[in-house]
Amino acid sequence: MLRMAQVSKHYGSSVALDAVDFSVERGEVMALLGENGAGKSTLVKVLAGLEQPDSGTIEIEDRAVDLRSRSQARAAGIAYVAQELSILDHMSVAENVFLGDTSFGWLRRPSMLAKKAAPFLDLVGLGSIDPLKSAGSLSIAERQLVEIARLLSRSARIAILDEPTAALSDAETARVENVVMTLAAKGCSVIYVTHRLGEVFRLSQRVTILRNGRNFPAFPTRNIDVDGLIERMLGRRLDQMFPPRRAGEGDVVMSLRGCSTPGVRLPVSLEVRRGEILGFAGQLGSGAGAMIQAIAGARPLTAGTMTLEGCSYAPRSVRKAIRSGVAYCSDDRKRDGIFLGRPILENLSAPALERVTRFGLIDPRRERNLANGVAERFEIDRRRFGSAARTLSGGNQQKVALGKWIGTDPKVLLVEEPTRGVDVGARAEIYRHLRTLADQGLAVIFASSDTQEVHGLADRVATFYHGRLVRLGNTDAISLEDVTRDVTDADQGAAA
Amino acid sequence: MESARPPGDRVRVIRYAAALVTLAATLIVAGFTTPAFVTYDNFLAIVRAASITGIVAVGMSFVTISGNFFALSAGQMAAFLGILFAVATVAGLGVPAAILLTIATAILAGILQGMVINVIGNPIITTIAFGAVFGGLAAFMSGNTLIRVHDDAALAALRFGTARPLGIPTQSWAFFALALLSWFAIRTTRVGRLITLSGASPAAAAASGLPVGLSSVIAMVIFSCGPAIVAIFSVAQFSLAKADQFSGLDIDAIASVLVGGVALRGGQGSPVQAALGALLIAVLQNFMLLRGLTAGERMTIVGLVVVIAVAGFHLAQGRRR
């Protein structure tokens, strides 16, 4: 059905896809696996017409196709459901099913649309939903299903689903899986990107694994087990990237007792010690990030209590958490991690403004001293203090986003995805800086969907899957494979 | 200190230079073509006009820098505060007390508007609505008639409105002083930094633990003092107040902020730029007036200048990325 040969794609000097061969047969579900940054999204975007490959050929039913735009991909029979759903809340379910479909002309009578949408909604198990209802009231799983109904309405020959179940509960996941099987049974080829290995075995006939932009030949799912998958996904380790671990012998700085928050289904209890790096491993929607946000005061706690240095700690806002000594770097650096348009100096002093202020005036000497201190520890170029943060590379921006917290003397530093959008060289540097901060007595908690990163950097690891804490223990006692299994396939891992 | 100018500064320089060069060009053209332009009386007229607009524009620039675009209640607030000041003076409160009352009311109005902006999240809608409230109050308090100050003692106390220390009107001294003070405030005070950072990225400011909501309130308070000062000077100068006195003030102040090159999306720029912009607009208006252009023609040209300035700054910014 679909055949990609020797497809390559570079972004600047980094290779996203390196001579990848990939094929899908008619009516087949092909699972596409790989670590973060392995090239899955690039591959999928090439097929969806969102990215152009540098070289290589793509054939559909033995005819070469040129996928230069989204509409060309659509015309070739390829339908793509992205991770970020495109459901318009204020429009009806039926309108959403036929979104972007102009074949009815410009007059779209609601009743006519509803009638046309009904069979597709039926196929995805949404037959009981009123097609005229506004899509805003749908759950995330239902939205996902509406997206698939849209895909059906376009009679796609090749369907690409990018982590469709990342944010779904088990029951909801089962609904999506059923629809995927229906889709394949109707002769549609499905490319299924996922981080959850259980789904791979339940759904797919064959698996393609990408690693560092290269692919292994696809193999039948029944010929491999979970361990085999994990082994192929991880491959060579970059041990020298990570600073040596430490035995966490410091006092307990923070403890959580039976804490849950939206996104974390089962209560979590844990402790963090001074000088320790605790890593939360988990994919998107696993609860690892949600737990960090709850500690940071960015998400409400629905149950449980937290203590900070023995005192009760219940931040109702990020601002209050910072005042208590808990600093938080979100995973969206460009949005709230740095002030892109402001000078680096101002970025570094922003959280600690009151410390450099006297009688309401900013003391330039104190501000510079504070910034110098950060720059020295995080190796930020002092000569560029006056330049806008925008002019820095991703890695240096991240150093600013992390380093600025030193000025507030926090007790606990929370970081989500510490190296997202950071190149490999700068990664090692950021790991080293986080380790230095811990060595100076800070407790660091970070969440990451990159299991190698968690296993390499953390002294202790907490694995999250599907809104619950799966395992908590010293990293030395847990193998990388265990961590990867926990975050991709905790249910089967527990059963084994 | 770093000797090399960081690349990010280039746009800032362009923004200052554009206003200055345009101002110089207008002055030269006007000076050579229009004899009446280069007289002391005309100079006074320009400076006075620039001061009224400028005082409001300098305050307005804080709103823009804080990321809240513009406050559209300046004219109606000035009308209301002018009537309040005149009524209080006529009622025999004494000029100093009346000034205090007017400023206090302005601060209160600023706090209210800032808080409502935080609630509904839209400064434009908020200030249009508040503008209507102030306009209504002005009409209501004045009974739609002129409020005149007759009392001799009060008139003596109001003499500062027509005084010219060192040959320059008091209004203009106030304008220069406020522009300097604002420049100092935005650069060196913690509040100034708070406003700039909140305007640059509200999300990043909140994530850094900065009180973003407070910054909007403070910016609105600073802004509100502008119309109060303008209103007090106006009553002092003409010994009267009326409800429809400041109809063009909003547009002139906004034009000054924009022509001066304060970045529309917030987090960049300085009140001094707004002051420069006010000078430029005043010179342009005066030149056109002397050339006998009608009110409609003048308005059209000022509008076009604003469009060209904003588009130009936008393109200069875009090319860099």
Query: For residue A29, what are its two tokens?
Result: 């579900």
Interface test with B, best of A317, A319, A374 (most B CBs within 10 A): A319
Under the banding of pLDDT at 50, 70 and 90, the label for residue B311 is confident
**pLDDT range class, residue B9, cuts 50, 70, 90:** low
Read off the pLDDT of each residue in B113-134 and give the average, rounded to a whole number.
95
Band of the pLDDT at A460, cuts 50, 70, 90? Answer: very high
Task: Considering only residues A121 and B58, tell me which one the structure prediction assigns the higher pLDDT.
Answer: B58
* Minimum-distance CB partner of B268 among A323, A328, A341: A341
Residues A339, B204: C-beta atoms closer than 8 Å: yes
pLDDT (0 to 100) of residue B7: 43
Contact: A388, B190; criterion CB under 8 Å: no
**Is B209 within 8 Å of A340 when comparing Cβ atoms?**
no
Find the CB nearest A388 among B8, B191, B210: B8
Residue in chain B nearest A388 by alpha carbon: B8
Contact B190 A328 (CB under 8 A): no
**pLDDT range class, residue B56, cuts 50, 70, 90:** very high
Closest CB from B5, B189, B209 relative to A319: B209
Quote the CA–CA distance of B307 and A421 in Å, as a whole number. Answer: 38
Of A365-379, A398-412, A478-492, B97-111, minimum mean pLDDT range: A478-492
* Mean pLDDT within A67-73: 86
Q: How confident is the model at residue A125 (pLDDT cuts 50, 70, 90)?
A: confident
Q: Which residue has the higher pLDDT, A145 or A107?
A: A145
Mean pLDDT for B289-299 is 89
Residue of B nearest to A337 (CA): B204
Supply the pLDDT for residue A429: 86
| Portion of chain A with pLDDT greater than 90, in percent | 37
Q: Which residues contact A26 (CB under 8 A, 6 or more apart)?
A: A1, A157, A187, A189
Query: Would an 8 Å CB–CB cutoff place A390 in contact with chain B?
Result: yes
Scanning A347-366 for CB atoms below 8 A from B yields: 350-351, 353-354, 357, 360-362, 364
Q: Which helix (H) or strand (E) holds A8?
A: strand A2-11
pTM of the predicted protein model: 0.79
Could you give the CA distance from residue A340 to residue B208 in angstroms, rounded to a whole number?
14
Q: Tell me, what's the pLDDT at A416?
A: 93
Q: Is the dihedral of CA A452, A458, A463, A466 positive or negative?
A: negative
Interface test with B, best of A347, A362, A365 (most B CBs within 10 A): A362
A-chain residues near B189 (CB < 8 A): 360-362
Q: Are A458 and A446 in contact (CB under 8 A)?
A: yes
Mean pLDDT for A392-411 is 89
> In terms of pLDDT, which residue wins out, B18 or B292?
B292
- Residue B70 sits at φ, ψ, to 5 deg, of -135, 155
CA-nearest residue of chain A to B189? A361
Q: For B211, name the nearest residue in chain A, comparing CA atoms only.
A: A319
- Mean pLDDT, rounded, for B206-211: 93
Measured distance between the N- and C-terminal CA atoms of chain A, rounded to whole angstroms: 36
What is the structure's pLDDT at A165? 79
Contact B17, B9 (CB under 8 A): no
Nearest to A9 by CA among A43, A37, A40: A43
Tens-place pLDDT, residues B11-28: 667 777 888 888 888 888
Question: Is the per-residue pLDDT at A44 higher than 60?
Answer: yes
**Cβ <8 Å between A337 and B200:** no
User: What torsion do the CA atoms of B300, B301, B305, B311 make, to the nearest 10 degrees?
Assistant: 40
Q: Which of A2-16, B45-59, B155-169, B179-193 has the lowest mean pLDDT?
A: A2-16
Helix H, strand E, coil C: the string for B85-151 is: HHHHHHCCCCHHHHHHHHHHHHHHHHHHHHHHHHHHCCHHHHHHHHHHHHHHHHHHHHCCCCEECCC
